[in-house]
Structure 1
Amino acid sequence: MLRQLVIRDVVLIDRLTLDFGDGLGVLTGETGAGKSILLDSLGLAMGMRADSGLVRSGQDSASVTAEFDLQGSHPALTVVEDAGIESEAGEPLIFRRTLKADGGSRAFLGGGAVPAAVLREAAGTLVEIHGQHDDRGLLNPKGHRALLDNFGRIDLAPVARAWTRLADLRSELDALRRAAADADRDRDFLDHSIDELAKLGPEEGEEQRLAEKRAAMKQFARVQDDLDGLAGLFTGSDGGLSQLRQAARRLERVAEAHPLLAEALGALDRALVEGGEAEEKVIAAQRDLAFSPEELDEAEARLFELRGLARKHRVEPDQLAELLDRMRDQRQAVDAGESRIAELERALAVAQSDFTAASEALTAARVVAASRLDAAVEAELAPLKLEAARFRTVVAAGDPGVSGSDRVEFEVSTNPGAPFGALTKIASGGELSRFILALKVALAEEGGASTMIFDEIDRGVGGAVASAIGERLARLATRSQLLVVTHSPQVAARASRHYRIEKSHGDEGTRTTVRLLDADERREEIARMLSGAAVTEEARAQAARLLETA
């Protein structure tokens, strides 16, 4: 609830600090004293439009600070958290707005700078302002459905679950259908590509092996003549090894004639061993490098196919095998998608039926709650001098969603036989304020913002009607903090805290001040409201009676 309002240099107010309490607080004063300045100041702190005309003449800037006490996990704390501002549990939440004479403004929430829109969002969870020209709160049809649901204590969980299930299935089915449409366009391409790749049968690393093999075969083609010549030198009748063997046989016959001949025979034996090894290696190399021209042609043809398909699919040759597996998976997904679509379509039909049943049950509950609300509101109309008026809650077909398929709007008819219409279009200023009060009383159990402000709700009425308004405001104040700008002594007498707004003229110009009245001052102010400028003893006595009976 609103605990304190600090105003600096706003219009006729230079310095003002107001402390507020629980229950019903009223603000009274003569016409033109500056009651609207207070509401404009509070609106500025709540993030409303900043008008440079609010800055007091001769000053560079104005500021307004509003301090609120919060209980529990108040929705305003969520706004603070979303804005990235730290807050301490149990600490008051402070709104502050500064406004320069040139039109610039800054907004602060809980000590951190924020956009004015954040102030409005947080303030919307804390304060309701009801005036003759207010088009928010109860007058906004966008909130009527939630108000009815809270009044009727209607459980939205079944329809919310049904809608969530329905929406999830629709989303999944739409995505799958889009994927299936894309897959249908690619079906022929996938089939052709899979067939082409499967016939080729690419293997990982095959391109490198083929390239190495082709290079080896081409290299052998270049050295083949040299190898054949080498083989002839080793194995021919005139080859080196043959001649060495002949020389060894001759030395063997004469080796005993001289030691050197024996050594020469040993050297020849070693040469023959090494030469034999060389001959074996040459022959083995010939065998390993041997190929047929057809084999080279086959290797080159396959290498050409691998590289051609790789270029076609814009992958490396070694990735062709992986591509084939991936395309096969995509093709299977096309077939599986068709089966999944059919499955989802069946599930969607069930979900649609479930949502329809849940929303029809919700509609029925709303119709019952609407009848109760209509009766509750109409019971309040006669005491508020609206006995000819009628109120109804329209529950009509709307767009389906998480809250069902209903559109809810409050409508009134102010005269017998007159058509029903929206509150703002049918009711006059005074009637509108009283309709709002009747609604708030009927919806009292629903709760709402912890602070409600009524601006001249009693304009144009008096006597028993003003008393009825005061009684209902006092009743509301047992559940919420109420601040009421009033001209009615009957309403003022019901207050738990009474503030007088005064305008004074001096050497420094005109000033507006606000005072919290004590018991005697309060009786005097109510007497003034009863009798006008000249307060009579009779008015004082009547004021005392009003205070006693309030």
Structure 2
Amino acid sequence: MLTALSIRDIVLIEALDLALDEGLSALTGETGAGKSILLDSLGLATGARADAGLVRSGAEKGTATAIFETPSNRALKALLEESGIEEEGELILRRVQSADGRTRAFVNDQPVSVALLRQIGDMLVEVHGQHDTHGLLDAATHRGLLDAFGGLEKDVRALTDLHGAWKAAQAELATETEEIERARADADYLRVAVGELRELAPEPGEEDALAGERTLMMSAEKISADLTDALATLEDDGGVEARLAAALGRLEARQDAAAGRLDAAVSALDRAVVEAGEARAQVAAVLDGLEFDADRLEQVEGRLFALRAAARKHSCTVDDLPQVTERLAARLEDIEGGEGRLKELTAAAVQAHEAYLARARKLSDARATAARKLDKAVAKELPPLKLDKARFHTEIDIVADADGGPDGLDRVRFEVATNPGAPFAPLAKIASGGELARFMLALKVSLAARGGAPVLIFDEVDAGVGGAVAQAVGERLAKLAQAVQVLVVTHSPQVAARADNHLKIEKRVKGKAKSDLPATHVTPLESDARREEIARMLAGATVTDAARAAADQLIGAGS
């Protein structure tokens, strides 16, 4: 509900602080008094398009502030939370328009973009009139209004969850498919590479061992000759051992007589005999094992060269080849195993889509039922509004299964035909200004308390009608005001008489100087003042007793 509207320096309004009540509020006054300025100011506060021409002459800036009770609108609360705007029972929308064209927007004194202000404002206020009609004219809103009318919001939320699950399954399947396709291109290479490496069967440290063996075998002939010469030296003339043993025997024979002076020499020779024997045996053993084998050399070189070639191919060291083998084998296993995973994800995506479609089709049936009920409800409202020849129809187009969205498969559009036999078409294309506002009134009465903005404004919805039709317009506005707050700009006494609140708009000049500018004033009317205004609306410039009596009759009929 709109609880207050504060205006500073907007067109003819110098300063205005207006408190508003629930129910139906009528705004009346002479043409040109400034009724439209109030609507322009409210539009400015709620994000409508603005320009420097709105600023009062001589002022640097104009300000419009609208205060709302925060409605229990989930979408609005989510938007406020997403935007980081705190609210405690009320929303204060403020717009500052500078004379130089600049504009600033605030929500609860927090600076926001004009786009966000407009988005919030559209959730709070709908304006319906001959020249400024939106909301119901936007076909994008029709599906939500139909769902609200049919009480289908819970079903839509459930469907939205299923749609999200389906899209998530599709995304996971697409990712996995892309990865599998990339892997398939490498599969043949991996199979060959893994087969080669497993056949080669590299082992850690193998390169150093083979290289050492190869070096040894290539040097075997020269080493063998040197060892033969060394062994001959150790064995010639009875051998080093025999000569050392003979020398040891002579020293031992004189050891006692030498009074200990030969002990060290005897000990050294004794060790020399033993070590000389060991040295000769080692040289002989190495010589025996150092036979040159051309076939073995070829085998060693072939294995070593194969290992090094594999390392170059995989850009690694020979010692890394075992780990490379394991890694490539794992990749190949993933590819082969991924085919099964792909089948699982495909089945999951199909299942998620089928679950979504089943719920979406059920929702489509429920919408078709709600559409028939809405068409009947609107049809009942048209004849009293002098639209008895008009027809209203809720058109539902069902899109292809693959094109379903979070709200379902349906595209909903409200259409009318204003003359018998004429085809149905969108509201904005075939209805005149007065007809359009009355169509909107019929719709809003039918949709009352079933969704939409909590504040509705009808600008001269009674234009071009009078008598019984104007009476019917007033009755339906009053009926609508039982569910939402309604403000109506009207020249019809029948409509004004049905209002719960009556605001008179008039233009006054403070002083008598030619330079004094006129200003718009708003006066809440009660009792006699209200009767006098309705009588003026009935009689014109001269209010007669008969007009007052007629005003009393209208007010009494609306009570």
Normalised-by-shorter TM-score class: 0.7 to 0.9
Deviation at 1:535, TM superposition (A): 2.2
Q: Would the alpha carbon gap of residues 384 and 169 (structure 1) be closer, same or farther in structure 2, given more than 3 Å must change?
A: same
Deviation at 1:110, TM superposition (A): 2.4
Q: Does 1:49 align with 2:49?
A: yes
Q: 1:511-547 CA distances to partner (integer Å, 9 max, x unpaired)?
A: 2222323333222222222222222222222222222
State how far apart, in whole Å, the 2-side matches of 1:221 and 1:268 are. Answer: 38
Deviation at 1:199, TM superposition (A): 2.1
Deviation at 1:116, TM superposition (A): 1.3
Q: Would the alpha carbon gap of residues 356 and 225 (structure 1) be closer, same or farther in structure 2, given more than 3 Å must change?
A: closer
Q: How many pairs were matched up?
A: 545
State how far apart, in whole Å, the 2-side matches of 1:426 and 1:17 are. Answer: 39
Counterpart of 2:255, as a letter, is A
Residue pair 2:308, 2:318 contacting (<8 A) in 1 also: yes
Q: Would the alpha carbon gap of residues 280 and 94 (structure 1) be closer, same or farther in structure 2, given more than 3 Å must change?
A: farther
Q: Does 1:412 align with 2:442?
A: no
State how far apart, in whole Å, the 1-side matches of 2:2 and 2:248 are. Answer: 125
State how far apart, in whole Å, the 2-side matches of 1:493 and 1:525 are. Answer: 10
Deviation at 1:427, TM superposition (A): 0.9
Alignment-derived partner of residue 394 in structure 1: 395
Residue pair 1:76, 1:123 contacting (<8 A) in 2 also: no
Residue pair 1:55, 1:99 contacting (<8 A) in 2 also: yes
Alignment-derived partner of residue 7 in structure 1: 7
State how far apart, in whole Å, the 2-side matches of 1:33 and 1:173 are. Answer: 65
Aligned 1:464-503 pairs, distance under 5 A? 464-503=468-507
- Structure 1 gaps of 5+ residues are none
1:255 counterpart SS class:
coil
Counterpart of 1:266, as a letter, is S
Counterpart of 2:536, as a letter, is R
1:214 to 195, 211, 219: 211
Q: 1:14-37 CA distances to partner (integer Å, 9 max, x unpaired)?
A: 222222222122222211122222
State how far apart, in whole Å, the 2-side matches of 1:50 and 1:400 are. Answer: 38
Counterpart of 1:475, as a letter, is K
Q: Would the alpha carbon gap of residues 372 and 91 (structure 1) be closer, same or farther in structure 2, given more than 3 Å must change?
A: closer
Residue pair 2:473, 2:495 contacting (<8 A) in 1 also: yes
Residue pair 1:231, 1:283 contacting (<8 A) in 2 also: no
Alignment-derived partner of residue 113 in structure 2: 115
Counterpart of 1:383, as a letter, is P
Which deviates the most, 125-134 or 209-218? 209-218
State how far apart, in whole Å, the 2-side matches of 1:537 and 1:248 are. Answer: 165
Alignment-derived partner of residue 462 in structure 2: 458
Normalised TM-score (structure 1): 0.86
Q: Would the alpha carbon gap of residues 290 and 48 (structure 1) be closer, same or farther in structure 2, given more than 3 Å must change?
A: farther
State how far apart, in whole Å, the 1-side matches of 2:523 and 2:450 are. Answer: 33
Alignment-derived partner of residue 135 in structure 2: 137
Deviation at 1:402, TM superposition (A): 3.2
State how far apart, in whole Å, the 1-side matches of 2:216 and 2:546 are. Answer: 131
Residue pair 1:216, 1:289 contacting (<8 A) in 2 also: no
State how far apart, in whole Å, the 2-side matches of 1:103 and 1:286 are. Answer: 106
Q: Would the alpha carbon gap of residues 274 and 152 (structure 1) be closer, same or farther in structure 2, given more than 3 Å must change?
A: same
Residue pair 1:13, 1:56 contacting (<8 A) in 2 also: yes
Counterpart of 1:48, as a letter, is A
Which deviates the most, 377-386 or 103-112? 103-112
Deviation at 1:430, TM superposition (A): 0.4
Counterpart of 1:427, as a letter, is A
Q: 1:161-196 CA distances to partner (integer Å, 9 max, x unpaired)?
A: 665565455444444444444344333223222222
Q: Would the alpha carbon gap of residues 444 and 72 (structure 1) be closer, same or farther in structure 2, given more than 3 Å must change?
A: closer
- Structure 2 gaps of 5+ residues are none
Q: Does 1:28 align with 2:28?
A: yes
Q: Would the alpha carbon gap of residues 451 and 294 (structure 1) be closer, same or farther in structure 2, given more than 3 Å must change?
A: farther
Which deviates the most, 125-134 or 158-167? 158-167
Residue pair 2:97, 2:103 contacting (<8 A) in 1 also: yes
Deviation at 1:60, TM superposition (A): 2.3
1:431 counterpart SS class:
helix
Q: Provide the identity percentage.
A: 47
Q: 1:248-283 CA distances to partner (integer Å, 9 max, x unpaired)?
A: 332111111112112332344456677788889989
Which deviates the most, 277-286 or 56-65? 277-286
Deviation at 1:129, TM superposition (A): 1.8
2:50 counterpart SS class:
coil
Alignment-derived partner of residue 68 in structure 2: 68
Q: 1:37-62 CA distances to partner (integer Å, 9 max, x unpaired)?
A: 22222222222223122122222222
Residue pair 2:62, 2:96 contacting (<8 A) in 1 also: yes
Normalised TM-score (structure 2): 0.85
Q: Would the alpha carbon gap of residues 122 and 235 (structure 1) be closer, same or farther in structure 2, given more than 3 Å must change?
A: farther
State how far apart, in whole Å, the 2-side matches of 1:289 and 1:518 are. Answer: 128
Q: Would the alpha carbon gap of residues 304 and 98 (structure 1) be closer, same or farther in structure 2, given more than 3 Å must change?
A: farther
Counterpart of 2:378, as a letter, is V
1:84 counterpart SS class:
coil
Counterpart of 2:19, as a letter, is D
Q: 1:413-437 CA distances to partner (integer Å, 9 max, x unpaired)?
A: 1112222111111111101101111
State how far apart, in whole Å, the 1-side matches of 2:501 and 2:285 are. Answer: 116
Residue pair 1:430, 1:458 contacting (<8 A) in 2 also: yes
Q: Does 1:96 align with 2:94?
A: yes
Q: Would the alpha carbon gap of residues 250 and 430 (structure 1) be closer, same or farther in structure 2, given more than 3 Å must change?
A: same
